[in-house]
Amino acid sequence: MNKTIGIFGGGQLGRMMAQAALPLNIQCTFYEADTDCPSAALGQVISSQTEQGLQQFIQSADVFSLEFENTPLADVDLLTQSKAIHPPRQALATAQNRLMEKALFDQLQIPVAPYQAVDSLASLQQAVKTLGLPLVLKTATGGYDGKGQFVLRSEDQIEQAWAELGPAKSLIAESFVTFSREVSIIAVRGQDGEVKTWPLAENHHHHGILSHSIVPAPNSADLQPVAQDYITRLLNHLNYVGVLTLELFVTEQGLFANEMAPRVHNSGHWSIEGAVCSQFENHIRAVAGLPLGSTEVVRPTVMINIIGQYPKSEQVLALNGAHLHLYNKTERAGRKIGHITLMPNDSTQLTTLCRQLAKILPVPLALSEDMTI
Shared domain for 206 and 325, answered yes or no, is yes
Domain holding 61: CATH number?
Answer: 3.40.50.20
Q: What is the mean pLDDT of residues 136-156?
A: 85
Shared domain for 247 and 295, answered yes or no, is yes
pLDDT tens digits along 211-248: 999 999 999 999 999 999 999 999 999 999 999 999 99
What is the distance between the alpha carbons of residues 257 and 185, in angstroms, rounded to a whole number? 11
Percentage of the chain modeled with pLDDT above 90: 85
Q: What SS3 state is found at 328?
A: coil
Shared domain for 158 and 197, answered yes or no, is no
Shared domain for 43 and 146, answered yes or no, is no
What is the distance between the alpha carbons of residues 185 and 320, in angstroms, rounded to a whole number? 28
E strands, the chain, in order = 3-8, 26-32, 45-47, 63-66, 84-85, 115-118, 135-139, 149-152, 171-175, 181-189, 195-197, 201-206, 209-215, 242-251, 254-261, 301-307, 322-326, 336-342
pLDDT tens digits along 249-306: 999 999 999 999 999 999 999 999 999 999 999 999 999 999 999 999 999 999 999 9
**Where is the binding site, in residues?**
98, 138, 143-149, 174-177, 182, 205, 258-259
Domain holding 133: CATH number?
Answer: 3.30.1490.20
Establish if 105 belongs to a structural domain: no
Percentage of the chain modeled with pLDDT above 70: 96
Question: What is the model's pLDDT at position 145?
Answer: 57
Name the domain count of the chain.
3
What is the distance between the alpha carbons of residues 131 and 65, in angstroms, rounded to a whole number? 38
**Where is the binding site for ATP, in residues?**
98, 138, 143-149, 174-177, 182, 205, 258-259
Shared domain for 252 and 350, answered yes or no, is yes
Maximum C-alpha span of the chain: 61
Question: What is the model's pLDDT at position 373?
Answer: 64
Establish if 96 belongs to a structural domain: no
Establish if 97 belongs to a structural domain: no
The larger pLDDT score, comparing residue 145 to residue 165, is at 165
Establish if 347 belongs to a structural domain: yes
Shared domain for 69 and 156, answered yes or no, is no
Establish if 106 belongs to a structural domain: no
What is the distance between the alpha carbons of residues 152 and 175, in angstroms, rounded to a whole number? 10
pLDDT tens digits along 147-204: 789 999 999 999 999 999 987 679 999 998 899 999 999 999 999 999 999 999 999 9
What is the distance between the alpha carbons of residues 118 and 239, in angstroms, rounded to a whole number? 30
Closest by Cα among 244, 226, 276, 273 to 109: 226
Shared domain for 157 and 189, answered yes or no, is no
Shared domain for 142 and 238, answered yes or no, is no
Q: Which of 150, 175, 200 is at the close of a domain?
A: 175
Shared domain for 192 and 329, answered yes or no, is yes
Range of the domain at 130: 114-175
Q: Is the pLDDT of residue 372 over 70?
A: no
Q: Is the pLDDT of residue 369 over 60?
A: no
